Amino acid sequence: MEDNRPLSGQTALVTGAGRGIGAAIARKLASLGAAVVLCGRTMNSLQATASAISDAAGRAEAMECDVTRSESVQKLASRVEQTYGTLDILVNNAGVGAFSGPLHQMTPEDWDKVLNTNLRGVFYCIRGFAPMMIRAGKGHIVNISSIAGKNALPNGAAYAASKWGLNGLTYSVAEELRGHGIRVAVVCPGSVDTELSPHIGKDSKKMLKPDDVAHVIEMLVTQSPQSFASEVVLRPTQKP
């Protein structure tokens, strides 16, 4: 039977796909017809996402990868190219938070953990996967940032710095790759009801849900080819 879904025949990769926003994005892309590679460090959670996708008649494969290690990402890129030939959609979602206190009390080890995952990891993934998109002459790269990449975040300065940096990286890479037919976008959600964000004093019922972010990804990767939205700021209707 012919598959007329908009992403039929395409391959997508989502980092941090084992839970939260990443899992929701992976489920959405699979529902649109893509074969989805689920990337992360914990195979149990990746396999749970893969099972949910399979149960919904979608296609997904879990591949372990640590985006903070260049050799791990390069190994993943080689495996994806050997298995699928190319990559159509890359969603850089993997991220960690640090909201425990002022910057001057933060250890260098905690700083490195945040920046290496949230910013360096995106560099490694673009470095690993953009070349095959360039060879294909098309592709989507979507980086999941945060409102914290636009606003001050007291007691979360390292996280904010990583997201401000990610925004600047995205704007620049979008200009580098648009001539190759590759559309690069950044999504900046407000408070999302996941275990990553600090929720003290917030009403979870008013917060964004992971599926709200996944809906934005759907809009970005199903645009007509002559246009792209370079940035989406997503806010809850009511302040939590």
pLDDT of residue 205: 87
pTM: 0.95
Higher pLDDT, 191 or 35: 35
pLDDT in tens, 8-18: 999 999 999 99
pLDDT at 201 over 70: no
Condensed to tens digits (0 to 9), the pLDDT of residues 22-72 reads 999 999 999 999 999 999 999 999 999 999 999 999 999 999 999 999 999
Mean pLDDT of 134-153: 97
What per-residue confidence (pLDDT) applies to 240?
78
CATH of segment(s) 11-223+230-234: 3.40.50.720
When the pLDDT of each residue in the chain is averaged and rounded to a whole number, the result is 95
Residues taking part in catalysis: 159
DSSP string, the chain: ----STTTT-EEEEETTTSHHHHHHHHHHHHTT-EEEEEES-HHHHHHHHHHHHHTT-EEEEEE--TT-HHHHHHHHHHHHHHHSS-SEEEE-------SS-GGG--HHHHHHHHIIIIIHHHHHHHHHHHHHHHHT-EEEEEE--GGGTS--TT-HHHHHHHHHHHHHHHHHHHHHGGGTEEEEEEEE--BSSSSS--TT--GGGSB-HHHHHHHHHHHHTS-TT----EEEE--SS--
